[in-house]
């Protein structure tokens, strides 16, 4: 963040010295860029900051000068998207204008950036994987040193409440609670799933669209950095190589065969990029059928489990009926009329049968598996220009607030 200090803030006296040094220390410790208005010029003795510096020891003067010199260099190389605030000798901050009082500005500079994610573990691993090495190391250093924090994710419901609170802050400061809210709005970065519309999985869910619109509504003092995934979930960015690794490391031979078949179907040309982007990776096609169909499958599965564990509970006729239906249960799910339009029209029915179930609840853990290198995950963005553009925008946004 670039913080521009009105030079009228540099006044004589103990309080003035303490306040000025507080800005310099906060900028150094929290990796902010410090500028002054007018711009710091070590040769211009008429600047207010020059008189203020005379009250400091030689070592302190050198430290302040070094911080201001660094600020000039870094600001000159910073992109226009980098977050910026201005600090003036005000009693009350003008938050929507990005003009803050000294006390509020110091609180803002000292507040860690929040990476607000639906799942603080898997989503963070995904984010680290899609950054290039330089940006990932930079983010990991910020996390390790407390300049960036990842609050515990609570899903889209909690995220909606969080964004609603930020989007409805009063423009004029009216108390400590509003100050805290504005600081959090300026020190947050959000990423959330696109999910799937209940009628068309190729479109975002209604709740995800609500989150996107809440983020888009916050335009002052700068556009709020809220990012909806371009695909359904982070799992939809998993490359085929990672899924093959998942299948080969299955615990049982039966699971390995099933997952191999799923990977084959999922990566097939006929299934295609559009379906891969909106497929329910954890649950499979069953996730997007009507509730009545899903409930019917659940009842059949429960009955089959009882049959396997307690065959004596059933009469001979019941056993015969259950066994007859069991052989048809999976085929029933391949009826195109029960599937959303995006999953219809494939010529090979085996594809749908293979993708009836998903890869399981833990498949996102692949992002944290160190047996898979970064090049494996980056392949997705090389092969898909839309995904590549989405990632570039997301990374630029993150750089802007770090």
Q: What is the pLDDT of residue 167?
A: 97
Predicted local distance difference test score (pLDDT) of residue 232: 98
Give the residue carrying structure tokens 């910073």.
78
Q: Each residue of 101-126: pLDDT tens digit?
A: 999 999 999 999 999 999 889 999 99
pLDDT value of position 294: 79
Q: What are the start-end ranges of the H helices in 31-101?
A: 48-53, 58-77
Mean pLDDT of all residues in 264-278: 96
Residue 290: the pLDDT is 87
The per-residue pLDDT for 143 is 97
**pTM of the full structure:** 0.90
Note the pLDDT tens digit of each residue in 24-69. Answer: 999 999 999 999 999 999 999 999 999 999 999 999 999 999 999 9
- Between these two residues, 154 and 148, which has the higher pLDDT value? 148
CB atoms within 10 A of CB 64: 21
pLDDT for the residue numbered 184 = 97
More confident residue, 295 or 262: 262
323 confidence band (pLDDT: 50, 70, 90): low
pLDDT at 311: 58
Residue 129 above 50 pLDDT? yes
Find where tokens 């108390």 sit.
Answer: 175
Average pLDDT, the chain: 91
Residues 6+ apart with CB under 8 A from 321: none
CB atoms within 10 A of CB 73: 10
Q: Any residues with CB less than 8 A from the CB of 296 and at least 6 apart, and which?
A: none
Residue 171 has a pLDDT of 79
Please give the Cα distance from 393 to 217 (Å, whole number): 18
Q: What's the pLDDT score for residue 347?
A: 87
Indicate if the pLDDT at residue 325 is higher than 60.
no
Confidence of residue 181 (pLDDT cuts 50, 70, 90): very high
Q: Is 302 helix (H, G, I), strand (E, B) or coil?
A: helix
Q: What is the DSSP letter of 80?
A: T
Q: What is the spatial distance between Cα 173 and Cα 180, in angstroms, rounded to a whole number? A: 10
Q: Is the pLDDT of residue 309 over 60?
A: no
* Averaged pLDDT for residues 193-198: 96
Contact indicator for 342, 336 with CB cutoff of 8 Å: no
Predicted local distance difference test score (pLDDT) of residue 319? 59
Alpha carbons 230 and 40: distance in angstroms, whole number: 43
CA distances from 87 to 9, 56, 79 (A): 8, 22, 20
Q: Please report, rounded to a whole number, the percentage of residues in the chain having pLDDT higher than 90.
A: 79
Please state, in angstroms and rounded to a whole number, the distance separating the CA atoms of residues 266 and 350: 11
| 328 confidence band (pLDDT: 50, 70, 90) | very low
- pLDDT confidence of 331, banded at 50, 70, 90? very low
Residues 6+ apart with CB under 8 A from 153: 116, 117, 118, 119, 120, 123, 159
Q: What is the pLDDT of residue 313?
A: 58
For the stretch 354-401, pLDDT in tens is 998 999 999 999 999 999 999 999 999 999 999 999 999 999 999 999
DSSP letters for 166-220: HHT--SS--SHHHHHHHHHHHTEEEEE-----SS-TTS--HHHHHHHHHHHH--S
**pLDDT > 70: what percent of the chain?**
90
């Amino acid at each position: 963040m670039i913080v521009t200090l009105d030079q009228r803030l540099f006044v004589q006296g103990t309080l003035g010295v303490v306040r000025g040094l507080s800005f310099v220390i906060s900028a150094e410790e929290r990796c902010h860029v410090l500028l002054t208005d007018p711009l710091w010029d070590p040769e211009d003795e008429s600047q207010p900051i020059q008189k203020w510096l005379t009250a400091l020891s030689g070592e302190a003067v050198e430290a302040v000068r070094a911080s201001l010199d660094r600020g000039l260099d870094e600001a000159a190389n910073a992109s226009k998207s980098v977050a910026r605030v201005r600090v003036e000798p005000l009693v009350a901050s003008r938050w929507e204008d990005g003009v803050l009082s000294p006390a509020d500005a110091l609180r803002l500079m000292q507040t860690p950036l929040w990476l607000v994610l639906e799942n603080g573990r898997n989503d963070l691993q995904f984010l680290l994987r899609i950054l290039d090495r330089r940006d990932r190391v930079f983010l990991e250093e910020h996390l390790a040193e407390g300049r960036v924090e990842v609050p515990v994710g609570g899903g889209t419901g909690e995220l909606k409440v969080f964004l609603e609170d930020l989007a409805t802050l009063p423009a004029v400061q009216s108390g400590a609670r509003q100050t805290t809210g504005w600081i959090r709005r300026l020190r947050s970065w959000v990423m959330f799933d696109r999910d799937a519309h209940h009628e068309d999985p190729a479109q975002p869910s209604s709740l995800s669209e609500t989150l996107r619109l809440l983020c888009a509504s916050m335009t002052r003092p700068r556009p709020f950095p809220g990012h909806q995934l371009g695909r359904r979930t982070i799992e939809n960015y998993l490359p085929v190589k990672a899924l093959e690794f998942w299948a080969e490391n299955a615990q049982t031979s039966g699971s390995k065969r099933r997952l191999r078949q799923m990977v084959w179907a999922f990566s097939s040309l006929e299934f295609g990029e559009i379906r891969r982007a909106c497929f329910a990776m954890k649950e499979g096609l069953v996730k997007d059928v009507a509730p009545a169909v899903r409930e019917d499958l659940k009842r059949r599965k429960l009955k089959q489990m009882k049959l396997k564990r307690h065959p004596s509970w059933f009469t001979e006729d019941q056993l015969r009926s259950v066994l007859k239906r069991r052989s048809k249960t999976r085929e029933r799910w391949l009826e195109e009329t029960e599937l959303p339009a995006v999953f219809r029209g494939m010529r090979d029915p085996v594809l749908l049968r293979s993708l009836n179930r998903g890869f399981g609840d833990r498949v996102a853990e692949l992002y944290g598996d160190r047996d898979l290198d970064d090049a494996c995950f980056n392949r997705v963005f090389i092969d898909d220009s839309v995904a590549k553009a989405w990632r570039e925008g997301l990374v630029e946004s993150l750089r802007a607030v770090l």
